[in-house]
Structure 1
Amino acid sequence: MGHEGTCHCGDVRVVIHDDPVEASECNCSICRRTGALWTYASPSRVEVIGEGVGYLHGDRTLTLFHCGTCGVITKWSPVDPGYDRMGINLRLFDPGLWQALPRRAVDGASW
Structure 2
Amino acid sequence: MKYQGSCHCGDISFTAEGDLQQVVECNCSYCGRKGHLMWFVGRDKLNVALKGTVATYRFNKHVIDHQFCPRCGVGVFGLGKMPDGTPMAAINARCLENVDLAAVKHSFYDGRSV
TM-score by length of 1: 0.89
What's the C-alpha RMSD, in Å, of the aligned pairs? 1.9
- TM-superposed CA distance for 1:99, in Å, is 2.5
* In 2, Cα distance between equivalents of 1:95 and 1:17: 14
What residue number does 1:53 align with? Answer: 55
The structure carrying a bigger strand percent of its residues is 2
Note if 1:110 corresponds to 2:104. no
Match of 2:88 in 1: 85
Q: Contact conserved, 2:79 with 2:87, CA < 8 A, in 1?
A: no
Find the aligned partners of 1:88 and 1:95 in 2 and give their Cα distance.
15
Amino acid at match of 2:11: D
Contact 2:81 2:88 in 1 (8 A): no
Which runs of 5 or more structure 1 residues have no equivalent in the other structure? none
Measure how far apart 1:95 and its partner are: 5.3
Q: Which segments of structure 1 move beyond 3 Å, counting only runs of 4 or more?
A: none
- Taking a change above 3 Å as real, the CA distance of residues 99 and 20 of structure 1, as seen in their structure-2 partners, is same
Which residue in 1 is equivalent to 2:25? 25
Task: Give the superposition deviation at 1:97.
Answer: 4.4
Deviates more, 1:43-52 or 1:61-70: 43-52
Point out where structure 2 has 5 or more consecutive residues left out of the alignment. none
The corresponding residue for 2:77 is 75
Distance in 1 of aligned mates of 2:81 and 2:103: 31
Deviations 1:58-94 (A, max 9, x none): 11111101101100001111179x5322200000013
Superposition TM-score, scaled by structure 2 size: 0.87
Range with greater deviation from structure 2 (95-104 or 1-10):
95-104
Give the paired residue count: 110
